């Protein structure tokens, strides 16, 4: 009888241990999903601002059509991306195109003085900062989740049900300084 009680207690303890670790992994996985949704919302906000910015710039800098087209194409790529990885890659391209656009616009003092343009630029800068923060938050969530499923004892509980996630990686072009030609 005492052996049976010890065995039942031991099984109950193992079950509680398993459930606790499993629930922790699920929670971390859900945090990653939530962090990605935050990035996605900010990317959508940026995509909504870009057409207004491009139209404002067109009136002042009609001969910068190549730069404007690159921004428009990159925006379309973000909107059409189906997976988080594809969105990350397209977002990197859009960030680079926007950076080149804003650097190019330094040559247009009348445009820089336009109140509508200034507001759009401030909104876009604010959104870019939010995207940057959301990416850092996402990467922190992914790190915590990946650690939970790859370290002992979480790796035993995770098994093959949970797979590693890919964090947000900046594109190599993000490290390049944009070249401006007048």
User: Which tens digit of pLDDT belongs to each residue from 109-161?
Assistant: 777 667 777 888 889 889 999 999 999 999 999 999 999 999 999 999 999 89
Q: Which of 126, 111, 132 is nearest to 54 (CA)?
A: 111
Residue 47 has pLDDT above 60, yes or no: yes
d(CA 25, CA 19): 10
Residue 177 has pLDDT above 60, yes or no: no
pTM beyond cutoff 0.85: no
Contacts of 157 (CB under 8 A, 6+ apart): 18, 21, 22, 25
Contacts of 3 (CB under 8 A, 6+ apart): none
Q: What tokens does 145 get?
A: 């989740």
d(CA 146, CA 161): 13
Q: What would the DSSP string read from start to end of 16-59? A: HHHHHHHHHHHHHHHHHHHHHHHHHHHHHHHHHHHHHHHHHHHH
Q: What tokens does 178 get?
A: 């944009």
d(CA 108, CA 38): 34
Confidence grade of residue 5 (pLDDT, cut at 50, 70, 90): very high
Average pLDDT over the chain, rounded to whole? Answer: 86
DSSP single-letter state for residue 172: G
For the segment 26-54, the average pLDDT, to the nearest whole number, is: 92
pLDDT at 182: 38
Matching residue, tokens 């009680």? 5
Bond before 148 cis per omega within 30 degrees: no
């Amino acid at each position: 009888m005492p052996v049976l009680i010890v065995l039942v207690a031991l099984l109950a303890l193992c079950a509680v241990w398993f459930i606790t670790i499993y629930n922790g992994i699920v929670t971390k996985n859900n945090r990653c999903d939530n962090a990605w949704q935050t990035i996605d919302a900010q990317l959508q906000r940026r995509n909504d601002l870009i057409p207004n910015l491009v139209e404002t710039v067109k009136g002042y800098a009609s001969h910068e059509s190549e730069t404007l087209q690159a921004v428009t194409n990159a925006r379309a790529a973000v909107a059409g991306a189906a997976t988080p990885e594809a969105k990350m890659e397209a977002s990197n391209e859009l960030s680079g195109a926007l950076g080149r656009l804003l650097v190019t616009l330094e040559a247009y003092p009348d445009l820089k003085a336009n109140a509508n343009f200034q507001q759009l630029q401030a909104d876009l800068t604010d959104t870019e900062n939010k995207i940057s923060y959301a990416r850092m938050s996402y990467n922190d969530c992914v790190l915590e989740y990946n650690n939970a499923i790859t370290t002992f004892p979480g790796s035993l509980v995770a098994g093959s049900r949970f797979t590693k996630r890919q964090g947000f990686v900046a594109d190599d072009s993000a490290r390049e300084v944009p070249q401006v030609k007048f």
